[in-house]
Amino acid sequence: MVPPWTRLERMERKGVVASRRWRAAGLVLAAAALVAVALASVAYGSKPIAVNRVLGSFFTFDGSSDHLIVRSLRVPRTLAGLGVGVALGMAGAVMQGVTRNPLADPGILGVNAGASLAVVLAIYGLDVTSPSGYVWFAFLGAAGASVVVYGLGSLGRDGATPVKLALAGAAMSALLGSVTTAILLLDVATLDQFRFWVVGSLAGRDATILRGVAPFLGAGALLALGSARSLNTLSLGDDVARSLGQRVGLARVCAAVAVVVLTGAAVAAAGPIGFIGLTVPHVARAITGPDYRWVLPYSAVLAPILLLGSDIAGRVVARPGELQVGIVTAFVGAPFFVALVRRRKLAEL
Amino acid sequence: MTGHDLRAEGLRLAYDAKVVVDGLTLAIPPGQITVIVGANACGKSTLLRGLARLLKPTAGGVHLDGESISRLPTREVATRVGILPQSPVAPEGLTVAELVARGRYPHQRWFQQWSAADEAAVAAALESTGTAELATRPVDELSGGQRQRAWIAMALAQGTPILLLDEPTTFLDLAHQVEVLDLLGELNATEGRTVVLVLHDLNQACRYAHHLVAMAEGSIVAEGRPSEVVSEELVTKVFGLECRVVPDPVAGTPLVIPVGARHRRPLVDFGSDPT
């Protein structure tokens, strides 16, 4: 007779990657790909710099323009892309998990709209002009909108159901968006400043911004990883989760805080970049199956690959100018979104 | 596994302002199968949710082994009482083995995630529900009967001495209904688990219940052994249905046969039949 252990090991998981060992190997592979993309992000641009010159700027800095470009422009930009990518990927995965909504994304829960409105208010009312000044407002706006959306979505007899959360998010997005538009229409100077930020760009992100949001990114990532097990039970429905001894309200709040912190920080650093949080968790899930203990790390590694890849593409396509990364991710993400919606059976998460 | 005591005392359950169950007192007999029956919206599912602390009482309380269930840590309760809600939905792509493994959640901690006991409980649950050969299949691709067995396997893996199930036979064809009920009867007989079921079919309830609870409008109308409790008067009272009760030719338990308006015996002979 086959011992039960090996039998269970064999029957364990489905998905493209069939066993735990393979999933770990896949994660290492993805991480290697991320390193390669990050190097490419430093090397390619409107002025291509050979990889040995790139490495030289770290180890034998000689003050040449190539080395200066690498160290003062491309490295901070790549690091920003890395941080923002990790945050968006994990935030999207947690959001989809906690709302059990395959279309959940910072846009849907109103986080982007809240952050944008806060930034516009800061530019318009408080004359804040530098991106490092936006950070805190974007963060506050993201948190505020999420709290309101969660509060609205939780009203009524069965708490924050996926549908009610999505509806509350859509309603809040529309409301906040129209306020934002009204302010922009009133004031041309605000519009000009806002326009660059709102599209989402990694360009011109200096090290101070990243340093400012890094603690939030770190805390959010840890909280998200810590929520993986409760997301697994929540995905079976509230009643089953409760029956399994999960404190559903507490788990939701933890996950929501992770989402707010991650998206708030990401939006503050790079503006609202869409579709990363939507697409990457689905790709991760297709590889690992629906276990959030794997979906989250995979999302964290795959998202910056997509973000940095899009950023490189934006730099290469429109040389010597460049396309902002938010536009490129929209080009990649929109068809994916359409395909997702057109699927006959919209995935139950 | 016997001996765990679950009871409701003066229980009132409400959704917002709407009181569904009021002043209900019920002791679940340990080691037996209790079946709750009643008309739609009589509060039977609500009662089950209340017994499993999924719904907080607005008055009275539920006691597990003498302690108020809402004061016990929920994880502690989860090792003693399991509930399978009506038609639960698994996330897409989740395999049967993964689903069943998630039943072990209350026994796991961050620092110790998968033990030999978990392994054994999952293997046993798969075995006893006949889902071992389905283990690698995604739950969403199974037939209704297979899916229900997979969920029951998850509840079994949780390893609770008390198991509550809300209409586990809904959406199943007759053969699968019997299969699921036989499985639960078997689990009760071999492992002595206390089973509480909400069922729609009165005849199945009579067959599988040791203890039958008939509810109407949020209160218990009658409870006891099916053969002692089920009568034509009770069915009329609970379901508002005229019926005949005869012995089940197979099990000997009460068999309820509804009369229905179209088959009521004519009171007057129309005299037109030439024979």
- The DSSP result for A24-90, as a single string, is HHHHHHHHHHHHHHHHHHHH-SSS---HHHHHHHHHS----HHHHIIIIIIHHHHHHHHHHHHHHHH
How many Cα atoms occupy the beta-carbon half-sphere of B6 within 13 Å? 29
Q: Which CATH class for the A12-322 domain?
A: mainly alpha
Amino acid at A169: G
Nearest to B92 among A157, A233, A347 (CB): A347
Question: What's the whole-number mean pLDDT along residues A46-60?
Answer: 78
Residues of A in contact with B16 (CB under 8 A): 157
d(CA B52, CA B32): 17
Q: What is the mean pLDDT of chain B?
A: 89
Asked if the Cβ–Cβ distance from B91 to A7 is below 8 Å, we say no
Residues of A in contact with B136 (CB under 8 A): 10-14
According to the model, what pLDDT value does residue A199 have? 56
Residue A6's pLDDT band, with cuts at 50, 70 and 90, is: very low
β-pairing verdict for B59-64 and B6-15 = antiparallel
Are A290 and B91 an interchain contact pair (Cβ–Cβ within 8 Å)? yes
Which of B95, B113, B139 would you mutate first to test chain A, the one with the most A CBs within 10 A? B95
B85–A157 C-beta distance less than 8 A: no
Q: In chain A, count H helices and then E strands.
A: 16, 0
DSSP state of B85: -
Is the per-residue pLDDT at A86 higher than 90?
yes
**In the predicted structure, residue A205 carries a pLDDT above the cut 60:** yes
Of A90, A96, A38, A99, which Cα lies nearest the Cα of A216? A90
Stretch A154-182: mean pLDDT: 80
Cβ contact (<8 Å) for B136 and A243?
A: no
Task: Return d(Cα A289, Cα A14) in angstroms, integer.
Answer: 6
Q: What is the rounded radius of gyration, in angstroms, for the C-alpha atoms of chain A?
A: 21
Burial class (CB in 10 A: 0-12, 13-18, 19+), B108: middle
Per-residue exposure over B126-156, b if at least 16 CB sit within 10 Å of its own CB, e if not: bebbebbebbebbbeebeebbbbbbbbbbbb
Confidence of residue A343 (pLDDT cuts 50, 70, 90): low
As a whole number of angstroms, the distance between CA B238 and CA B222 comes to: 9
Q: List CB contacts (< 8 A) between A229 and chain B.
A: 105, 108, 110
Tokens read off for A64:
């040449």
For B97, the closest of A5, A12, A229 (CB atoms) is A12
How far is the CA of A191 from the CAs of A186, A197, A299, in angstroms?
9, 10, 34
Q: Which of B108, B135, B155 faces A11 most closely, judged by CB atoms?
A: B135
Spatial CA neighbour of A326 closest among A272, A282, A264: A272
Hunting for tokens 């200066």 — which residue is that? A68
At A270, the amino acid letter reads A
Which residues in chain A have Cβ-Cβ distances shorter than 8 Å to B76? 245
Among B16, B85, B158, beta carbon nearest to A237: B85
CA dihedral A105, A108, A112, A113 (to 10 degrees): 180
Contact A8/B110, CB-based, under 8 Å?
A: no
Indicate the residue of B74, B91, B122 with minimum beta-carbon distance to A242.
B74
Specify the pLDDT at position A120: 82
Half-sphere exposure of A271 (CA within 13 A, CB side): 21
Q: How far apart are CA A34 and CA A302, in angstroms?
A: 8
Test A347 with B54 for CB contact under 8 angstroms: no
| A244 has a chain B CB within 8 A of its CB | yes
Q: Does A192 touch chain B (CB under 8 A)?
A: no
**Chain segment B114-123, per-residue pLDDT in tens:** 788 888 999 9
pLDDT of residue A16: 43
Task: Give the best residue of A10, A20, A98, A243 to mutate against chain B (max B CB count within 10 A).
Answer: A243
Quote the CA–CA distance of B233 and B212 in Å, as a whole number. Answer: 16
Which regions in chain B score pLDDT beneath 70? Answer: 1-3, 110-113, 265-275
Asked if B85 lies within 8 A of A8 by C-beta distance, the reply is: no
Spans of all domains in chain A: 12-322
Q: Give the pairing of strands B211-216 and B194-198.
A: unpaired
B53 with A242: Cβ contact below 8 A = yes
And the tokens for A250? Answer: 């507490």
Contact by Cβ (8 Å): B158, B78: yes
For the ranges A95-99, A192-196, B3-7, which has the lowest average pLDDT? A192-196
The 10 Å CB-count burial string (b at 16+, else e) for A153-175 is bbeeeeebbbebbbebbbebbee
Q: What pLDDT does residue A87 have?
A: 93
Q: Is residue A127 less than 8 Å (CB to CB) from chain B?
A: no
In chain A, what residues touch B106 (CB-CB under 8 Å)? 244-245
Cα–Cα distance for residue pair A330/A325, rounded to 1 Å: 8
Asked if the Cβ–Cβ distance from A157 to B75 is below 8 Å, we say no
- If contacts are CB pairs under 8 Å, which of residues 287-306 in chain A contact chain B? 289-291
d(CA A138, CA A128): 12
Give, as one character, the DSSP assignment of residue A105: -
**pLDDT at residue A12, as a whole number:** 45
The C-alpha of B256 sits at a distance from chain A's nearest C-alpha, in angstroms, of: 33
Distance from CA of B260 to the nearest CA of A (A): 37
Q: Is the pLDDT of residue A31 over 90?
A: yes
pLDDT value for A9: 46
A14: pLDDT confidence band, cut at 50, 70 and 90?
A: very low
Q: Which residues contact A85 (CB under 8 A, 6 or more apart)?
A: A276, A303, A304, A305, A306, A307, A308
Query: Residue A307 in contact with residue A84, Cβ under 8 Å?
Result: yes
Q: Which residue has the higher pLDDT, A19 or B197?
A: B197
CB contact under 8 A, A348 and B110: no
**Contact criterion met (CB < 8 Å) for B54 and A236:** no
| Paired tokens of A25 | 């190997």
Cα–Cα distance list, A180 to A115, A185, A187, A330, B264 (Å): 10, 9, 11, 21, 70
- Closest alpha carbon to A18 in B95, B193, B111: B95
Residues of B in contact with A290 (CB under 8 A): 91-94, 98
Distance CA B61, CA B58 (A): 8
What pTM did the predictor assign?
A: 0.84
